[in-house]
């Protein structure tokens, strides 16, 4: 804590961060208020602001007209100085969102794809979706600060898909490597349920919740866990994979919906859940029984997660979250008796945007971590 | 990071911590080396050392004789300036260990008790055990810096036993409150499996492991989880309670041992496991089958924990850890197919000391946290 000669450049880096954090929390702000907020002298702050303007992290607002005397200079965080890309690689849809450094989504593109598409076809679709989203945002890849992609399956720290039962030819794919070919900036890959958990904490049902179990349910079932506000990824990327345990019913849960006898012939698996829930809502007893069975199997895996980590909140997302009105009561009926205390359960309202929003949040967190790392040089807002 | 006038006392507190940390990591140490190690001026360090000596956190070593000139003063951490108490409240034994501030156990007392003893009898036994351990250490309660007690069951943040199936009349007990009556210092209460997990990381099989699942198995089965080196306690104290899920076999696991047909009549439940494992070791096929069934049921709950948190290591402790040579192979045979990747499993070598050692560690962590908290006044080494 004693600052000595050799630490001058580090002290400057620390002061750059303090200045930037103050602008982000209090801006637009003038130099006098900024010096007070950052607890630095005004000449020091002035120099720091010039450096942050030059680097592209701050922008100067046009002077306010109509004031007496020379108007005070006003500075704000340059949120559009860089952008991040969030990606959701699903079975049927490849979603790409472009967000500015404040997390505002400025452009997006959804690319439809066949659930049976193999690795090459899915990667080609992904490149198309990325190009279209960048184009819609009027940006090129070299203006991107960080990329994060969500995918089903177990993902290593290096961004390799170690295991995926959801997507054909996906196991073993170096997804981070594939994506890095198109970008100079950091590229992250994460399990999609993990990203959805981050999204719920950022903009969903779990704001201010640090200990969360997110359950994605629909054609497949998965989980993402937050402990102390951070993703629980596991030593080998396998946290939240309770669905692999045959003793709990996640492996058979979707079959109650996709295999429901009352479905019109030719109903696609992805449309089955909505139809069964709609029938249950209309008091069809067979559909209600299917929902009951589905809820029971879902509850078994959720109970295992709850009894292991004891979260503050369980958020249910994915396709079935649109049918929360029908599902919640039977789910609670089966879940509560399994648990020591009834867990608090909420239905996601992020819909199909949860994973891609979480990917944006994860990419922004990476940008911020570099920006606020005293021990590294001040980065640029892109590439 | 800019130090201003009003921060002088905080700066001094920070420098006290820096000095103390340097002595603890490098001592016994002289003033010159200490000033260098703490990156402070020698006169500053001299003043800080005097304050730490007066508070009781440091001690001065006797001057080395036979040196030319005035011998340099040498200082060390005053590990015996305060002590902590670790307590393990078991079904059959109440264990109390007294440790100095370096964690060296200087005295201990085990008090036998009936497994059917009710609340009042168990608390009375506990007071006897505490008094005997203090007496053996030549200490009184007012010389204790912190107390931590481990108990079965779900424990709230306030130290109330919310639920215990293991000990009679234990549910609802304000255990922290009961213990506080005998001490002026902080009193902590924690689930016993959680404490055993801390002990494994401190002095057992999980040194340098941050993400751990500890499984206590014997007459009962429980778990403690570390994430990022910290206890996962859960929002309501219920983390690791997977044994409550009837879908996994922990509730029936001990019955394979206690209900084994080949036991001599009148074998006490606590002795059953050792006898079954001994018979299995001697190639008794019925005993081997009982161990196989036990391993299968144990594996089910461990798999649920592993598939939820994906730890670096699973440590198996409790009564059965003495029979690791017989249990490990069947356990792995059943566990590995449940998991995405075979988890690394180790057998504890802390024996019956795991919980009480973990309680000592938890109490020491509390002492250190107060000692190193810049925002609180420098505490005393006891009470």
Number of H helices, E strands in chain A: 11, 15
Quick: pLDDT tens for B329-378.
999 999 999 999 999 999 999 999 999 999 999 999 999 999 999 888 89
Evaluate whether residue A316 is within a structural domain.
yes
d(CA B302, CA B270): 22
Residues of chain A with pLDDT under 70: 1-7, 65-68, 383
Answer whether B245 sits within 8 Å of A307, measured CB to CB. Answer: yes
Give the closest of A230, A236, A340 to B238, CB-based: A340
Q: Which helix (H) or strand (E) holds A331?
A: helix A324-338
List Cα–Cα distances, A158 to A10, A83, A119, B166, B367, in angstroms.
Answer: 30, 23, 19, 44, 39
Answer whether A237 sits within 8 Å of B310, measured CB to CB. Answer: yes
CA distance, residue B243 to nearest chain A CA (Å): 8
What is the DSSP secondary structure assignment for residue A263, as one 8-state letter? S
- HEC secondary structure over chain B: CCCCHHHHHHHHHHHHHHHHHHHHHHCCEEHHHHHHHHCCCHHHHHHHHHHHHHHCCEEEECCCCCCCCCCCCEEEECHHHCEEEEEEECCCEEEEEEEECCCCEEEEEEEECCCCCCHHHHHHHHHHHHHHHHHHCCCCHHHEEEEEEEECCEECCCCEEEECCCCCCCCCCEHHHHHHCCCCCCEEEEEHHHHHHHHHHHHCCCCCCCCEEEEEECCCEEEEEEECCEECCCCCCCCCCHHHCCCCHHHCCCHHHHCCCCCCCCCCHHHHHHHHHHHHHCCCHHHHHHHHHHHHHHHHHHHHHHHHHCCCEEEEECHHHHHHHHHHHHHHHHHHHHCCCCCCEEECCCHHHHHHHHHHHHHHHHHHHHHCCCCCCCCCCCC
Alpha carbon distance, N-terminus to C-terminus of chain A: 33
Chain B residues lying within 8 Å of A224, measured CB to CB: none
pLDDT of residue B316: 97
Chain A residues lying within 8 Å of B225, measured CB to CB: 308-309
pLDDT of residue A218: 80
List Cα–Cα distances, A243 to A223, A339, B135, B270, B306, in angstroms.
Answer: 8, 18, 53, 35, 12
Answer whether B308 sits within 8 Å of A305, measured CB to CB. Answer: yes
Contacts of A158 (CB under 8 A, 6+ apart): A174, A176
Contacts of B35 (CB under 8 A, 6+ apart): B41, B42, B44, B45
Alpha carbon distance, N-terminus to C-terminus of chain B: 33
Q: Are residues A361 and A343 both part of a single domain?
A: no
Does B109 have pLDDT greater than 80?
yes
Quick: pLDDT tens for B259-308.
999 899 888 888 899 999 999 999 999 999 999 999 999 999 999 999 99
Percent of chain B with pLDDT over 90: 85
Q: Are residues A325 and A361 both part of a single domain?
A: no
Evaluate whether residue A382 is within a structural domain.
no
What is the DSSP secondary structure assignment for residue A355, as one 8-state letter? H
Which residue reads 């910290």 in tokens? B230
CA distance, residue A327 to nearest chain B CA (Å): 22
CA distance, residue A335 to nearest chain B CA (Å): 11
Q: Are residues A242 and A321 both part of a single domain?
A: yes
Nearest to B101 by CA among B365, B283, B376, B286: B365
CATH classification of the domain holding A32 = 1.10.10.10
Which residue reads 């070593």 in tokens? B61
d(CA A158, CA B143): 51
Question: Cα B37 to chain center, whole Å?
Answer: 31
Q: Are residues B261 and B337 both part of a single domain?
A: yes
Chain B residue nearest residue A5, CA to CA:
B39
Contacts of B300 (CB under 8 A, 6+ apart): A247, B247, B248, B249, B250, B334, B338
Question: How many other β-carbons are positioned within 10 Å of the β-carbon of residue B115?
Answer: 15
d(CA A57, CA A49): 9
d(CA B213, CA B298): 13
Q: Where do the DSSP E strands lie in chain A?
A: 29-30, 58-61, 74-77, 83-89, 93-100, 105-112, 144-151, 154-155, 161-163, 187-191, 212-217, 221-227, 230-231, 313-317, 345-347
Is-contact B382 B226, C-beta < 8 A? Answer: no
d(CA B313, CA B231): 15
Q: Are residues A331 and A223 both part of a single domain?
A: yes
Is-contact B101 B113, C-beta < 8 A? Answer: no
Interface mutation target, options A14, A165, A244, A309, chain B, most CBs of B under 10 Å: A309
Query: What sign does the dihedral B367-B371-B377-B378 (CA atoms) show?
Result: positive
Q: Are residues A191 and A119 both part of a single domain?
A: yes
| DSSP sequence for A36-97 | HHHT--HHHHHHHHHHHHHHTSEEEEPPPTT-SSSPPPEEEE-GGGSEEEEEEE-SSEEEEE
Percent of chain B with pLDDT over 70: 96
Chain A residues lying within 8 Å of B4, measured CB to CB: 39
Query: What sign does the dihedral A270-A126-A360-A186 (CA atoms) show?
Result: positive
Evaluate whether residue B380 is within a structural domain.
no
Token pair recorded at residue B185: 């210092």
Answer whether A341 sits within 8 Å of B238, measured CB to CB. Answer: yes
Q: Which helix (H) or strand (E) holds A123?
A: helix A119-136
CATH classification of the domain holding A326 = 3.30.420.40
Angle at A297 between CA A283 and CA A223, to 5 degrees: 115
Chain B residues lying within 8 Å of A211, measured CB to CB: 234-235
List Cα–Cα distances, B81 to A39, A217, B19, B182, in angstroms.
Answer: 40, 57, 17, 20
Contacts A–B by Cβ distance under 8 A: 133
Size (chain B), residues: 383
Last residue of a domain, one of B77, B102, B121: B77
Q: Are residues A96 and A121 both part of a single domain?
A: yes
Chain B residues lying within 8 Å of A245, measured CB to CB: 303-304, 307, 338
pLDDT of residue A66: 60
Chain B residues lying within 8 Å of A237, measured CB to CB: 310
Evaluate whether residue B281 is within a structural domain.
yes
Structurally, how many domains does chain A consist of?
A: 3
| DSSP sequence for A198-239 | HHHHHHSTTTT-SSEEEEEESSSEEEEEEETTEE---TTS-T
Is-contact A353 A93, C-beta < 8 A? Answer: no
Token pair recorded at residue B10: 């905080």
Is-contact B226 B274, C-beta < 8 A? Answer: no
Q: Are residues A10 and A121 both part of a single domain?
A: no
Token pair recorded at residue B327: 């249990």
Three-state DSSP state, A381: coil
d(CA B40, CA B158): 40
Does B257 have pLDDT greater than 70?
yes
Q: Are residues A218 and A278 both part of a single domain?
A: yes
d(CA B65, CA A30): 65
Q: Range with the lowest mean pLDDT among B1-5, B18-22, B84-88?
A: B1-5
Three-state DSSP state, A341: coil
Interface mutation target, options A7, A232, A310, chain B, most CBs of B under 10 Å: A310
Nearest to B278 by CA among B318, B317, B323: B323
Q: Are residues B28 and B112 both part of a single domain?
A: no
Q: Are residues B248 and B339 both part of a single domain?
A: yes
What is the DSSP secondary structure assignment for residue A320, as one 8-state letter? G
Compute, in degrees rounded to 10, the torsion defined by CA atoms A363, B313, B154, B293.
Answer: 130
d(CA A164, CA A168): 8
Evaluate whether residue A202 is within a structural domain.
no
CA atoms within 13 A on the CB side of B255: 5
Main-chain phi, psi angles of B370, to 5 degrees: -70, -40
Answer whether A238 sits within 8 Å of B307, measured CB to CB. Answer: yes
Evaluate whether residue B382 is within a structural domain.
no
Last residue of a domain, one of B32, B58, B77: B77
Evaluate whether residue A201 is within a structural domain.
no
Nearest to B52 by CA among B84, B78, B34: B78
Evaluate whether residue B214 is within a structural domain.
yes
Answer whether A310 sits within 8 Å of B228, measured CB to CB. Answer: no
Chain A residues lying within 8 Å of B206, measured CB to CB: none
- By residue range, what is the domain housing residue A66? 5-77
Confidence band of B65 (pLDDT split at 50, 70, 90): low
Q: What ipTM score was computed for the predicted complex, to two decimals? A: 0.92
Q: Are residues A53 and A178 both part of a single domain?
A: no
Last residue of a domain, one of B77, B92, B119: B77
């Amino acid at each position: 804590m004693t600052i000595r000669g050799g630490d001058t450049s580090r002290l400057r880096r620390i002061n750059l961060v303090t200045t930037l954090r103050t602008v982000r929390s209090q801006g637009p702000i003038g130099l006098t208020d900024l010096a007070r907020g950052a607890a630095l002298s005004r000449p020091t702050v002035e120099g720091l602001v010039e450096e942050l303007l030059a680097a592209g992290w701050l922008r100067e607002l046009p002077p306010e007209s109509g004031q007496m005397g020379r108007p005070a200079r006003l500075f704000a965080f340059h949120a559009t100085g860089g952008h991040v890309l969030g990606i959701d690689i699903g079975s049927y849809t490849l979603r790409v969102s472009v967000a500015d450094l404040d997390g505002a989504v400025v452009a997006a593109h959804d690319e439809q794809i066949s659930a049976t598409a193999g690795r090459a076809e899915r990667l080609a679709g992904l490149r198309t979706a990325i190009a279209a989203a960048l184009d819609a945002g009027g940006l090129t890849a070299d203006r991107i600060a960080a990329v994060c992609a969500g995918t089903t399956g177990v993902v290593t720290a290096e961004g390799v898909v170690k295991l995926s039962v959801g997507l054909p030819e996906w196991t073993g794919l170096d997804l981070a490597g594939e994506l890095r070919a198109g970008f100079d900036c950091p590229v992250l890959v994460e399990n999609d349920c993990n990203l959805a958990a981050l999204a719920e904490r950022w903009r969903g049902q779990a704001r201010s919740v640090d200990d969360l179990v997110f359950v994605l349910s629909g054609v497949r079932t998965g989980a993402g866990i937050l402990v102390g506000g951070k993703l629980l990824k596991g030593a080998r990327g396998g946290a939240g994979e309770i669905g692999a345990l045959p003793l709990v019913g996640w492996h058979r849960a979707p079959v109650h919906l996709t295999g429901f006898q009352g479905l019109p012939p030719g109903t696609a698996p992805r449309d089955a859940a909505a139809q069964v829930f709609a029938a249950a809502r209309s008091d069809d007893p067979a559909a209600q029984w299917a929902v009951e069975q589905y809820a029971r199997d879902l509850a078994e895996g959720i109970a295992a997660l709850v009894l292991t980590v004891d979260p503050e909140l369980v958020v249910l997302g994915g396709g079935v979250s649109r049918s929360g009105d029908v599902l919640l009561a039977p789910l609670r009926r089966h879940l509560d008796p399994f648990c020591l205390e009834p867990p608090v359960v909420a239905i996601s309202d992020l819909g199909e945007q949860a994973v891609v929003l979480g990917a944006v949040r994860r990419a922004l967190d990476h940008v911020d971590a570099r920006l606020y790392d005293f021990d590294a040089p001040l980065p640029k807002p892109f590439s």
